Amino acid sequence: MAEVHKEPQEFTLRIRRYDPESGEPAYWDEHTVELEPHRSVLEGILQARARFDGSIGIRCSCRAAICGSCGVRINGQPGLACHTHLDKAVASSRDGVIEVEPMGNMPVLKDLIVDMDQVHWKKVQRVTPWLVNKQPIPEREYIVPAYNMVDVTQSMACIQCGACVSDCLSMEVDPLFIGPAALAKAYRFVGDPRDAQQFERLKDLAEDPHGIYDCTHCFKCIEACPKGVAPMNQIMRLRRMAGDVHGINDRNNGHRHEIVFAHLIRDHGLLWEAELLPRSYGGDSFFGKFHPAAGAELVSSLPAITKALVRGKVTPMGALKPHKLPKQDLGQIHSIYDKVEGREEPYELNLYVTGYDEDESGAEGMPSAETGTPGMEPEESPSR
């Protein structure tokens, strides 16, 4: 057997310190601790606190990635301090020193402790985070189809650590955005067939200017989450259900934008930007752009558009005339649209539920842009 026990070694932590009551600005503090490399960054912080400075502020409880208390940024990336090994943290550091900071998008209470109440928990409360029973309540238990149950367990896996909130890029400029954790929680109930308020929940989240259509689709929350909740994917499901299942035509242009986009591709094969914008505001027809809302939008975009015209970036003819695919290909695109959109139920492959096929070649699990034909095998590529 390979050796299990590794000798303790030295790790240096650079910890962001801040005490709002002191009136002093934030500063960095370094401590060197001695621990086995597989121990966690949290253990490192706790040792520094025990041995060198009892005033270091850190929140923790379970120390086993269950309670969600110890969310921090390690070398700039959000995560759980108790779930990050010291040796891994050193490897991802800039200069061999492990940098630990409080999470972003929330005010710092002290050192590594942020105010979850003011931001995270308020937003979670905002989405009615409980089940509203369908009536009449059956005499015995509700039966939920297995597919739906597995589907919602992805958002149920959330431990409310706030790592996704910390790095959300829409929230960075719009503190009112409901945000990834709360919207993932919203999907947990929207996707539950026992809930009576699917439509009301979706309508509420679609109409709120800081709701589902305020997410900029940046994937940050997917990367941040230590529990695989993939909040952005849940937000996209909320959008799909709001717009395409319930036909909610929100005032944020979210659903119109999506429909116009899909229709333009159907009609032209390629995106025709000059029509996308005004139609998203005004409505999905050639006349959409003459709608008052579209007019207002055009006026507010005017400086950009005039400049683009002056620079010859966009020629008037180029902007007005769509580029199109050849007829035969457009025909093929149409028939794909007709067939797929004509299905009674939309067919959605949820990889969280189905998992991945066993790879016949025996290579490791996840498929990526890297694998396969045509052409060179990755190993043959130069400069690798």
Partner 1 sequence: MKVAYWPGCVSRGFTPELHGSMAKVAPLLDIELVALDRACCTGAGVIAEHNQELADTLNARTFALAQQVKGADLMMNICSTCQGAQTECQERLDANADYREHVNGTLAEQGLQYEKGLTNKNFLWVLVEELGLDELRSRVKRPLTDLRVGPFYGCYIVRPVDRLGIDDELPRDTYLGQVIEALGGTVIEYAGSHKCCGFPIITMNKEVSLKQAGRHLGDAKDADADCLVTPCPLCHLNLDLQQPLAERLVGRELDMPVLHLPQLVGLALGLEPKELGLQRHVVKPTSVIDWSTSIVAGV
Q: Which residues bind ligand SF4 (CB under 6 A)?
A: 158-164, 168-170, 180-181, 184, 215-221, 224-225, 227, 229, 231-232, 235
Query: Is residue 228 a contact point for ligand FES (CB under 6 A)?
Result: no
* Least separation in angstroms between CB 50 and ligand SF4: 27
Among 87, 129, 258, 291, binds partner 1 (CB under 8 A): 258
Q: Is 138 or 175 the residue whose CB approaches partner 1 more closely?
A: 175
User: Which residue is it, tokens 């998992």?
Assistant: 355
Among 26, 270, 299, 320, binds partner 1 (CB under 8 A): 270
Among 172, 193, 197, 352, binds partner 1 (CB under 8 A): 172
Q: Is 72 or 202 the residue whose CB approaches ligand FES more closely?
A: 72
Query: Is residue 285 a contact point for partner 1 (CB under 8 A)?
Result: no
Quickly list H helices, the chain. Answer: 41-51, 86-91, 122-126, 146-156, 163-167, 169-173, 180-190, 198-207, 220-224, 231-240, 254-268, 273-282, 292-310, 316-320, 327-341, 351-354
**How many of the other CB atoms lie within 10 Å of CB of 247?**
9
**CA pair distance 156, 229, nearest whole angstrom:** 8
Query: Is residue 351 a contact point for ligand FES (CB under 6 A)?
Result: no
**How many of the other CB atoms lie within 10 Å of CB of 342?**
7
With CB cut-offs between 5 and 8 Å by kind, which of ligand FES, partner 1, ligand SF4, none does residue 126 bind?
Answer: none
Q: Is 58 or 206 the residue whose CB approaches ligand FES more closely?
A: 58
Query: Is residue 67 a contact point for ligand FES (CB under 6 A)?
Result: yes
Tell me whether strands 27-35 and 113-114 are parallel, antiparallel or unpaired: unpaired
Among 33, 74, 82, 206, binds ligand FES (CB under 6 A): 82
Query: Is residue 114 a contact point for ligand FES (CB under 6 A)?
Result: no
* Least separation in angstroms between CB 221 and ligand FES: 17
Go through the chain and tell me how many residues it has.
384
Give buried/exposed letters for 170-187 (b at 16+ CB in 10 A, else e): bbeeeeebbbbbbbbbbb
With CB cut-offs between 5 and 8 Å by kind, which of partner 1, ligand SF4, ligand FES, none does residue 54 bind?
Answer: none
**Which residues from 225-244 bind partner 1, rule CB under 8 A?**
236, 239-240, 243-244
* Least separation in angstroms between CB 77 and ligand SF4: 12
Instruction: Give the CA dihedral 77, 78, 82, 84, nearest 10 degrees.
Output: -30
How many CA atoms lie within 13 Å of 332's alpha carbon, on the beta-carbon side?
5
Query: Is residue 80 a contact point for ligand FES (CB under 6 A)?
Result: yes
**Among 43, 25, 27, CA closest to 35:** 43
Q: Is 58 or 184 the residue whose CB approaches ligand SF4 more closely?
A: 184
* Least separation in angstroms between CB 365 and partner 1: 9
Could you give phi then psi for residue 13, rounded to 5 degrees? -110, 135
Query: Is residue 68 a contact point for ligand FES (CB under 6 A)?
Result: yes
- C-alpha to C-alpha distances, 111 to 13, 68, 141, nearest whole angstrom: 14, 17, 47
**CA pair distance 330, 269, nearest whole angstrom:** 6
Among 26, 66, 302, 304, binds ligand FES (CB under 6 A): 66
Query: Is residue 336 a contact point for partner 1 (CB under 8 A)?
Result: yes
| Positions in the binding site for ligand FES (CB under 6 A) | 60-63, 65-70, 80, 82
